[in-house]
A and B are shown apart, each in its own frame.
Chain A
Amino acid sequence: MESLRVKDLCKTYIVNKRQNNVLKNISMEIKEGEMTAVMGPSGSGKSTLLYTVSGMDDITAGKVDFFGRDIGSLNAKQMSELRLDEMGFIFQQMYMLKNLSIYDNIILPAYQSGRGKGRERRKEINDRARELMHKLGISEIAEHDMNEVSGGQLQRACICRSLINNPKMIFADEPTGALNQQNSREVMKELNRINREGTTVMLVTHDMKVAAKSDRVLYIEDGTIKGEYVLGKYTGEDAMREREKKISNWLMEMGF
């Protein structure tokens, strides 16, 4: 089954009274449990694609089905519920609310989902938050302020937040873009683990190493998908060198 089915997606911005077609008739599918990377040069429309298919930005024309639901037909409230319960977002910068501790930032979506009612449910949320933080190796920073931890830790906390409501799909906009190599590796390791556990992931990246860990890579240029490369499931670091080489060659072919 497809997690995401996009048909003839167009996105147009009006800049200085001039129409700017950022996405042009894009059609694509992402299967359930798949990890798809979107690559392309700056200004090609990668982030716009991610934001429009995830419902964060309006579409100008076309149709986007998210697990069979046409997100264009949903009102603001339904879209909020969808984002809350079925989608997770990870941004390049580690955005968090400054006045809340790391732990409270993580559990906030769970409490907002309305599933935070009742002692049992609250225990469930706290157990899940602790489990996620433990898995991502950030248990010790739970009560810290966001300014007291490293970028890698913060991005992992953002991943925890995006996973707290067990979303069906994660949208990540250059999740390692602001991290050093070590932190990037750790974050990607977690995203792969989440994906292995069944969560569909769509990510935008400039980094070949990140793309090499995906099942499939889409190359976008000038608002259209120029090609796709299927790498298959990432099995571990052993096959990384070969996957990176394949991607590199393919991207060269695409003119990246």
Chain B
Amino acid sequence: MFFRILKKDLKRKKTMNMILLLFIILAAMFLSSSVDNLIAVNGAIDHFIEISRTPDFFSIALTDGKTDKIAEFLEGNKAVSEYEVINTFNLINEDITITACREEPGRTRYERTNILCIEAVPGNFMKVFRMDDGSLSLESGEIAFPKVEADRNHLHEGDKVSIRVGDVEREFVIAAIVKDAVFGSTMMGFKRLLISGEDFAEFARQEGLVHTMMYNVDYADREKFQEQWKEQNFVVLSSIETDSTIRMCYIMDMLIAVILIVVSVCLILLAFLVLRFTIVFTLQEDYREIGIMKALGIKDRAIKGLYLIKYLAISVVGAVIGFGLGFPFGRVILDRAIVNIVVDGAKQNFAVNLICAAAVVFVVLLFCCFSADRLKKISVMEAIRSGSRGERYRAKGHLKLRRRPLMKPYFYLAVNDILSSLKRFGILFVTFCLGTMMILLPQSAASTLKGDGIIASFSLSPSDVYLDTGKGETYTVDMERMLRDMEEIEQRLKENGITAETGVDMGYMLSCYTDDPKDSVTYYVLQAMGSWDRHYTLLSGREPELSNEVMITELTAEELEVGIGDTIHFATAESAEEFIITGTYQSMMNMGQGYRVSKSAVLDPAYASGMLCMQVEVADMESEEACAKLKELFPEYRIMNAEGFLDNMIGGIVRQIDTLTAFIVGIVLVINSLITILMMKTIMTKERGDIALLKSIGFCDRSLMAWQIARILLVLTAAILTGTILSNVLAPYIIGPIFAMMGATSIELVTRTPASCILYPLLLSAATGASAFLCAGGVKTVDLKEVNTME
């Protein structure tokens, strides 16, 4: 009888067993590959940092190429174990011309990232590697591009570019696309082009150029070095402790692996639901056999073992297949993640995959044991009576047909069935609800990043036009030129009948402290410049108006332990100015750290270190129209609307999240379809008698199909609504902390978008409805005579 039941079960419940198997395969595949990937990517980053000789500390400063106070400070410093100064030159768009591009033959204009510089192939620190992980060496006339820059401009090896530094212009052949540990990630806004030492020397020979010096430092004593560094108050563009910053920059590369882990955990949970459903269904079907076995004196444990063998077999087969598939699948994900990383340390780990697959089997079996425990509760008589204990059942009907005159009978039956079997349809509900949330939460993150409100989170005031002159670095050392250019733009617009105001938010790298200069922190201090009188979004207090007033981000306020009304000091090498805090704000710039002073505040222009872009506010004109007009008048500049500006700033991240959302949508659609098929097939097996009865009283196939489909769609609708509400409620707790990590501590998440309200519900309904429709076709196979199979 043991094997008869097992054989019958495997034969009769083919669909159910197949779907269970599929869930276990997917769970094992996702879990093993994602955990392995997470470990591999982490290992690869460690390895990359090590072999590229990433320094402990890194800083950039502008010099005239003659005097270098920082190099003097580093020389002979006992807190420094090793250091290197690398000479580079900043490049603006006009400095680079594409002279041969095979992918886009007519392309000459170069689109760069925020900051781009050119340097000789590094020797000691911050080495770069070819895409095949080989080391890089370049001949004269050759140039290497980081992957992000090459992709952005559709450049490949063999293409040519012409580069001008000062008065010297040279043409280079792209000899390599490279991986750069420190600057390679998409989140790093600084990129470097590499040429041979000989070619670089030719550029560097010129007099009167502004040099961008990079200082790579390995600590001998971190604390002491940091203390001395702060004391010096050097004028720098940026300084970071590289290890933690680089890891943070590669977080997006690990995000896919993390989300896959979440998806696999959800899949395991869903596999549990499917398991519970199949176990309960199997036990109900086999009541009589179980009763007979019990009556014959076979122990519960032996009967339970019979069912566990089946699930053990399914779990092991599923885990083995999932384990096998995990390698190629994991490789695809890993290859995407390590595109910017040297792969040597990113090998897939057989043991990790195996442990994860085994964990899936173990957890599934544990749950089976727990679920199959209900066997103990079945008495012999109850089992022989097919589950009936002999007492009357309580009434199940919840809806009265005559009180629902507007409901079509098939719809009434569907609603009544759901209300009568809440537990059974609960599985569907939970699955659909989880699926909806899995889609809407990342979608909400992407929508928030694409939303209009995000501009304010970059410490900017929204404007009609965002303009990149490509001279940002020039402006930081020559603000007069910037103001002249702004005036010129306004004047030209005026001549063309357009009244406009321009503005720039200039960033200064200043160290700041409350009482003791030794406890200073160095972040960007922003100051609005230009004719445009704009306002910024605050979290509390008011904007700074006087020359000694400042507003401060919440994260910096927390770090300095200050609040509105408190005083802070901005220090330069010569002096320290006192500022009163008037308000707090949030910013996704510089991981949420920073300050903003009023227009009237006087800051040392030597400490100016960068700006995002120039903004133009046009009177009596919509943004699109204004952009079109400015493009016409200033073809040499890059003109963007808010959307274009955001795409330039965080497009990479948004696209990554969009890809992830699309991936999750695919997974959820498959899960929904599988669960729908599973539920409908099993329920229909039990309902063949009911269907035959309804046919005998005159229900046509179409009504019966509508009844079957309506149940699924009703549950789906309820689940989508609940999932949407839960996503909206939970988003601040799930996505909020991610934004808070980036500095947006009180961001208003965008949860209602056409995609979340229309597209995804429609997609889910279409896929689930299609599966339901296909399964509902099964009613046609029910013969009227099967009415005699009713219990």
Residues of chain A having any CB pair with chain B under 8 Å: 51, 56-57, 76-77, 80-85, 87, 89, 91-93, 95-101, 103-104, 107-109, 111-113, 116, 119, 122, 125-126, 144-145, 147-148, 161-162, 165
Q: How far is the CB of A135 from chain B (nearest CB, A)?
A: 19
Q: B397's contact among A77, A81, A101, by CB below 8 Å, is which?
A: A101
Instruction: Please tell me if the beta carbons of B790 and A83 are within 8 angstroms of each other in the complex.
Output: no
Q: How far is the CB of B73 from chain A (nearest CB, A)?
A: 83
- CB-CB contacts below 8 Å: B361-407 with A: 392-397, 400-402, 405
Who on chain A is nearest to B401 by CB? A104
Instruction: Please tell me if the beta carbons of A80 and B700 are within 8 angstroms of each other in the complex.
Output: yes
A16 to B633, CA, bound (A): 87
A113 to B408, CA, bound (A): 10
**12 A-B pairs in the complex with CB atoms less than 8 angstroms apart:** A76-B700, A77-B702, A83-B695, A84-B698, A89-B697, A97-B694, A100-B397, A109-B698, A112-B699, A126-B402, A145-B392, A161-B697
Determine the interface band of chain B, counting residues with CB < 8 A from chain A.
35 or more
Who on chain B is nearest to A88 by CB? B697
- CB-CB contacts below 8 Å: B762-787 with A: 783-785, 787
Most chain B Cβ neighbours within 10 Å, of A95, A109, A116: A95
Main secondary structure of the interface of B (DSSP, over half): helix
Instruction: Please tell me if the beta carbons of A91 and B401 are within 8 angstroms of each other in the complex.
Output: no
Does B153 sit at the interface, judged by CB under 8 A?
no
Instruction: Please tell me if the beta carbons of A97 and B690 are within 8 angstroms of each other in the complex.
Output: yes
Given the known interface contacts A57-B785, A99-B397, A104-B400, the answer about A76 and B703 at a Cβ–Cβ threshold of 8 Å is no
Extra contacts, 13 of them, besides A57-B783, A104-B402 (Cβ < 8 A), are A56-B784, A80-B698, A83-B698, A87-B698, A93-B788, A97-B693, A103-B400, A107-B402, A108-B409, A109-B698, A125-B402, A145-B397, A147-B392
Instruction: Please tell me if the beta carbons of B785 and A122 are within 8 angstroms of each other in the complex.
Output: no
Given the known interface contacts A89-B696, A93-B790, the answer about A101 and B402 at a Cβ–Cβ threshold of 8 Å is no
A94 to B694, CA, bound (A): 13
A-B contacts at CB below 8 angstroms, number: 105
CB neighbours (8 Å) of B695 from chain A are: 80, 83
Instruction: Please tell me if the beta carbons of A81 and B393 are within 8 angstroms of each other in the complex.
Output: no
CB neighbours (8 Å) of B783 from chain A are: 57
Most chain B Cβ neighbours within 10 Å, of A82, A147, A148: A147
Given the known interface contacts A76-B700, A93-B790, the answer about A112 and B409 at a Cβ–Cβ threshold of 8 Å is yes
CB neighbours (8 Å) of B393 from chain A are: 145, 147-148
Q: How far is the CB of A75 from chain B (nearest CB, A)?
A: 10
A61 to B783, CA, bound (A): 19
CB neighbours (8 Å) of B416 from chain A are: 99-100
CB neighbours (8 Å) of A147 from chain B are: 392-393
Instruction: Please tell me if the beta carbons of B698 and A101 are within 8 angstroms of each other in the complex.
Output: no
Q: How far is the CB of A14 from chain B (nearest CB, A)?
A: 14
Does B543 sit at the interface, judged by CB under 8 A?
no
A99 to B785, CA, bound (A): 21
Instruction: Please tell me if the beta carbons of B698 and A95 are within 8 angstroms of each other in the complex.
Output: no
Q: How far is the CB of A193 from chain B (nearest CB, A)?
A: 21
A100 to B699, CA, bound (A): 16
A87 to B700, CA, bound (A): 14
CB neighbours (8 Å) of B689 from chain A are: 95
CB neighbours (8 Å) of A96 from chain B are: 693
Does B490 sit at the interface, judged by CB under 8 A?
no
Main secondary structure of the interface of A (DSSP, over half): helix
Instruction: Please tell me if the beta carbons of A145 and B697 are within 8 angstroms of each other in the complex.
Output: no
Q: How far is the CB of B404 from chain A (nearest CB, A)?
A: 9
Who on chain B is nearest to A167 by CB? B698
Given the known interface contacts A99-B396, A113-B698, the answer about A91 and B690 at a Cβ–Cβ threshold of 8 Å is no
Q: B697's contact among A93, A112, A122, by CB below 8 Å, is which?
A: A112
Q: A145's contact among B395, B693, B694, B784, by CB below 8 Å, is which?
A: B395
A171 to B563, CA, bound (A): 88
Who on chain A is nearest to B780 by CB? A76
Q: How far is the CB of A126 from chain B (nearest CB, A)?
A: 6
Instruction: Please tell me if the beta carbons of B699 and A116 are within 8 angstroms of each other in the complex.
Output: no
Q: How far is the CB of B241 from chain A (nearest CB, A)?
A: 67
A101 to B701, CA, bound (A): 23
Q: A51's contact among B394, B401, B417, B785, by CB below 8 Å, is which?
A: B785
Q: A112's contact among B421, B690, B703, B787, by CB below 8 Å, is which?
A: B703
Instruction: Please tell me if the beta carbons of B697 and A83 are within 8 angstroms of each other in the complex.
Output: yes
A126 to B400, CA, bound (A): 12
Q: B401's contact among A83, A85, A95, A108, by CB below 8 Å, is which?
A: A108
Given the known interface contacts A95-B689, A100-B416, A145-B394, the answer about A81 and B785 at a Cβ–Cβ threshold of 8 Å is no
Does B420 sit at the interface, judged by CB under 8 A?
yes
Who on chain A is nearest to B787 by CB? A95
A111 to B707, CA, bound (A): 14
- CB-CB contacts below 8 Å: B696-715 with A: 696-703
Most chain B Cβ neighbours within 10 Å, of A76, A99, A148: A99
Instruction: Please tell me if the beta carbons of A56 and B785 are within 8 angstroms of each other in the complex.
Output: yes
A108 to B700, CA, bound (A): 13
A191 to B127, CA, bound (A): 97
Q: A81's contact among B400, B420, B698, by CB below 8 Å, is which?
A: B698
CB neighbours (8 Å) of B694 from chain A are: 97
Instruction: Please tell me if the beta carbons of B697 and A101 are within 8 angstroms of each other in the complex.
Output: no
Given the known interface contacts A91-B788, A126-B402, the answer about A85 and B409 at a Cβ–Cβ threshold of 8 Å is no
A192 to B297, CA, bound (A): 52
Who on chain B is nearest to A89 by CB? B696
Q: How far is the CB of B699 from chain A (nearest CB, A)?
A: 6
A145 to B392, CA, bound (A): 9
CB neighbours (8 Å) of A162 from chain B are: 697
Produce 1/0 per residue, B665-697, CB < 8 A to A: 000000000000000000000000110011111
CB neighbours (8 Å) of B400 from chain A are: 101, 103-104
Instruction: Please tell me if the beta carbons of A84 and B697 are within 8 angstroms of each other in the complex.
Output: yes
Q: B698's contact among A57, A112, A145, by CB below 8 Å, is which?
A: A112
A78 to B401, CA, bound (A): 25
Instruction: Please tell me if the beta carbons of A99 and B697 are within 8 angstroms of each other in the complex.
Output: no
A125 to B400, CA, bound (A): 14
Q: A122's contact among B405, B417, B699, by CB below 8 Å, is which?
A: B405
CB neighbours (8 Å) of B702 from chain A are: 77
Q: A76's contact among B396, B412, B693, B701, by CB below 8 Å, is which?
A: B701
CB neighbours (8 Å) of A81 from chain B are: 698, 700
Who on chain A is nearest to B399 by CB? A104
